[in-house]
């Protein structure tokens, strides 16, 4: 009899264990059956694909070799102008005032004694 009771309880345990992924205690704690826990997601409805803009279409079109070369030259020219502007701005920021420049001698006058007439003319 004990053997028969043991097989009956084992069969009952297998039925409960095979019914789902969750243990009996966890099912009681959650207060429901396992079917309520699993939810099925719906597929997202994708809208229509946006049409590419005119700029993208124009960039994607194949250009002739001469037009590509001209575009490359134009971009290079713009890059050079931008670098030139940066250099000129930095030079302008570091420029000495005119009062300081007047105090400096040129190399042409180096070793040359300034006469009274020249001093009168420069001042």
3-state helix, strand, coil in the chain (%, to 5): 65, 0, 35
pLDDT digits (tens, 9 = 90+) for 95-118: 999 888 888 877 877 788 888 998
**pLDDT for res 9:** 55
pLDDT of residue 76: 95
pLDDT tens digits, 60-92: 777 788 988 999 999 999 999 999 999 999 999
Give the start-to-end residue ranges of the domains of the chain.
65-122
Residues contacting residue 30 through CB under 8 Å, at least 6 positions apart: 22, 37
pTM, 2 dp: 0.36
């Amino acid at each position: 009899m004990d053997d028969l009771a043991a097989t009956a309880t084992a069969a009952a345990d297998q039925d409960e264990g095979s019914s789902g992924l969750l243990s009996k205690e966890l099912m009681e704690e959650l207060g429901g059956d396992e079917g309520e826990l699993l939810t099925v997601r719906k597929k997202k409805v994708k809208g229509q694909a946006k049409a590419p803009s005119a700029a993208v279409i124009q960039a994607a079109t194949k250009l002739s070799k001469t037009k590509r070369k001209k575009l490359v030259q134009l971009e290079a020219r713009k890059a050079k102008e931008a670098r030139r502007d940066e250099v000129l701005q930095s030079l302008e920021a570091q420029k000495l005032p005119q009062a300081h420049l007047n105090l400096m001698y040129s190399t042409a006058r180096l070793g040359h004694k300034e006469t009274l007439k020249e001093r009168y003319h420069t001042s």
